[in-house]
A and B are shown apart, each in its own frame.
Chain A
Amino acid sequence: MKWLTDWLDDRTGYRKIVREILVENIPGGARWRYSWGSALTFAIFIQFVTGIFLWAAYSPSAQTAWESVYFIEEEMTGGWLLRGIHHYTAQVMTVLLLLHLLQVIIDGAYKAPREVNFWFGVCLLLLSLGLSLTGYLLPWDQKGYWATKVATNLAALTPGIGEPLQRLIVGGADYGHHTLTRFFALHAGVLPALLIVLIVAHIYLFRRHGITPKKPLRGPDAKFWPDQVLRELVVCLAVLAAVLALVVWKGGAELFAPADPSEHFPARPDWYFMFLFQLLKYFEGDRVLWGAFHIPGMALLLLCLMPLFGRWKIGHRFNLVMLACMLGGVAYLTVVAFQKDTEDEEYQLALKNAHRDAARIKELAKATEGIPPQGAAVLLHSDPYTQGPKIFATKCAGCHSYEGQDGTGAPLEEPSSAPDLKGVGSRAWLAGFMDPDQIETGKYFARTRFVELDEDGEKSRMVEFVHGLRDLDAEGKSQLEKIVAAVSADAELRYQAEIDARDASLIKEGTDLFFNGISGVKKACADCHGFDGEESSSKNTPDLNGWASRDWLIRFTRNPEHRDFYGAGNDRMPVFEDEKTFTDEEIALVVDWLREDWPMPGAE
């Protein structure tokens, strides 16, 4: 063994280098507080290693970035852990950067002759934040996409060179393939290379000037190896443990739904940029430059000037106060930003929906056993479960409600003027409709023309009929229930399939009663409505053949004024077939959603 190391030393002189690295004098002995720099270096080491492994599985393009990250997360063994470590080490690194900066300033390690090294440190801080910012976009999920858009839009405001600068960063007029290739080149190439150069220079200068001992010294001098090294390794272990704990606790890094420029997302930067996000809120119009550039720029300038002030005792105190003010400001803005979000119901709802979309797209991707070449976003676009409520909110919720809200969970702007469509087609929905106490409520016909009095002082035939059911005896009630079951069975709802099959004979009875009428009630349903293969016998009366089935609802929505539906008796429901504001695909998505008929991965 010895001859081999001798041979190697003879050729390389490595022993001298190792000795120089290890035999550093630590005045006053080893201390924990000197370990922050090493902890940071270790965090960067983790990022390099995990980053290169992630690189081997990542594909930067608008149709493959999200998809490859999804594959890492969900399909590759241990992928969630690897990505989780990379993600949370970035978070921990930000904390370590702050602690390192604090320690350097409080201990006065930035003073002459260490000014240049302090400036290197500030550059490293900015580089690290740049790495975080570029890395945030790479999964190409909603979160990264929208947050980074804000950042690049701010870049466009840079005085003088803004617009070309933005175009260069984004790689075109809008986000796309080249945004990802450029961000990836920055994130995995340019910035890490700069980081290495600066770290080497930073450590070189640190060694040149030696450690800044914390006074008073606690004991005799010690050597870097092994006294200080041991402490630093324990700190590194703690960093690793903290990262792993975070990954396991959070179940890995979250991956939101694929980036979609048509889909609203509550854009927020990562927590360490939240203070800047909050700061921007205070500057309106053209004054945005103050929030985006001037104030952060001045703070940075002050930070860089600290070593110059630090020459004087009073300067050092001034620096400490300034640092406290800056950190206080950042902390205050961060807390306010998070508080505002917690209180903001709209934001919370949007976030909830974003989490739902994130979970749903993973289900869809798994169910299809392979994402189509156009990318995963198309899976979500054709999914009734997630698209139904969104389309309902924009196209239907002007009049209709869904469980009293707009479909997405947000409250209605005005009270509904058309039926609530939650559970439409089901027995419960129809039974409520046939209930004299409910027919005129907001759940059904409130604020429709069907409850208005005509010149004879009567409401619509249907409403009058329902009121006529008020005093049904027990037998009448049971007959009504059977009719309801029969009509509802025509909807062929998936979630009702079991009870429909079970109640076949009851449904048969209900069908007969539809034509023969309920005992004690003058009119039968069939006196107006068509059912069981018979056409409607009265004009302007919905044909109940296949009522609330997929086809019926789609045809109804396309044209409620068709003679199979309300005809001339239609209230204010638009004829979407003519208006073209509601495409057939959208109608089908809403109908499938209302009927709760969507693929249920895992359920089958």
Chain B
Amino acid sequence: MKLNGAQILVQSLKNEAVEYIFGYPGGAVLHIYDALDAQNDIKHVLVRHEQGAAHAADGYARASGKVGVVLVTSGPGITNAVTGIATAYMDSIPMVIISGQVPSALIGNDAFQEVDAVGITRSCVKHNFLIKDINQVSITIKKAFYIASTGRPGPVLIDIPKDITIKKITKPVYADTIKMRSYHPVVNSDDMQIDKAVALIIKSKQPIVYAGGGCVIGNAHQQLRDFTRQLGLPITQTLMGLGAYPATDKLSLGMLGMHGTYEANMAMHDADCVIAAGSRFDDRVTANIEKFCPNAKIIHIDIDPASIGKNIAVDVSIVGEVSLVLAALSHALKDKKTADISAWWMQIDRWRSVDSLAYQTQAGVIKPQSVIEALYTLTKGEAIVTSDVGQHQMWAAQYYQFDEPRRWINSGGLGTMGFGLPAAMGAKLACPHRDVACVTGEGSIQMMTQELSTMLQYHTPVKIVNLNNGYLGMVRQWQEFFYEKRYAMSYMDALPDFVKLSEGYGHIGIKVEKPEDLKPALIEAFAQKQRTVFLDIMTDPSENVFPMIPSGAGHHEMLLAGRDKMESNNDSGLNLV
């Protein structure tokens, strides 16, 4: 039987066990949509904007651990998706994006809806392909899934000209496995490096584990827990790593970095040995590099050799899958005697007693932190929480205690406002039986409200927790601290009525203005199992995210709420973003 390129493409996606495609049709992909329509295995989610497609596929991938799949048309279809692709790239999320292209003969002619998709996406994908031959369709799909999901994962784009989807061949070949001479992701680590790490760890009197998103994406949470507990080590996690190790466990010091806890940052500063697992020493984590971990030997475990030594010089580098490396370390340390770290724990407990996440309450005012705490209590910490970007994102990270991986889904690397809502939709499709909450702000949510329509169509009941303070809060906070309270463009006048907006999209809207109404509103929202509920919660507009390491400062120079005064910074600090 003769099959056209579109049919071969759809069959190739079936071979990869694709469950959902998030997409939007257009001229260049009409054949692909026609082929999709003729089958029932793959479900297609019609988003309302292509950026939403990429974020939804991303949320699906983060929640499920599978590859997220996006299908968009040429020109504006793919350019709209670019922000979502870049978001996935920065957080190493496995994703395959299929973009239609104008017919091969028209490429380069400035044809209608033509854009150089491969050129535009080159710097924000792990790899991309332009298919030039129908015989390459199935093998290219195979390669794309292989590249996207192995090594350090990432998005892979396939640009396919319309004529390739129309052309027919007999007996297309589908490969079961793939080998590429130019791509060999590292798996196992070097035993010698393990030995070097062990030698450092057993001598260390003030060790700390610093775990990142690689422990979540690399499914290394069990090995991370075993390793940390075997030695009784203090552990801090990055924004992307939250949930890899249980937040409520006694060894956990919480998040580190710019808005991390006092105990986590002080322990990093005073540590004599830092075991970095699947983390990349991002600027939000290290604060001022010159003041970073001044006394520590650093062991860096990462699947990506290029991550090692990029920002911070390390003493022992271990390239490999973080789960395998941690298991190897646990094994190598089994019969080894390690140094006594009880004095270190006493010091850490003193830092803990500072209670750096304490905040002042005020009668009649809803504190944003209290909303997250109430959300945590009500969902028993078992919901999947997505977030947008800004103050609410930090509060969600600080006050929702994530005990399991893949429950906390946010745009950590690129910091994409608008991510939270479509990501929640994708997460709900991946985990239909789990409560999904999208913690957002009135700024971020307005970048993707159109996806409320998609959520009605595909019945993805999500609870939207909108911390509405009327301000682009993180911008306002920085303006308060560093720009003498000149609030340039951080206040949004004329906000929509979010209750009516969500009702207009067929959902339930609840406005919460008083602290005493918060808990009942949350209970009501989560009782509506089959409905998306938009909770528009009016929170304290003057609240800031604390603790905070101001720009240019080190981990030991953090500022605590109500205890430290924000000093105007030097110019070098203001250079940082």
A and B co-occur in one complex: no
Binding site for A on B (CB under 8 A): none
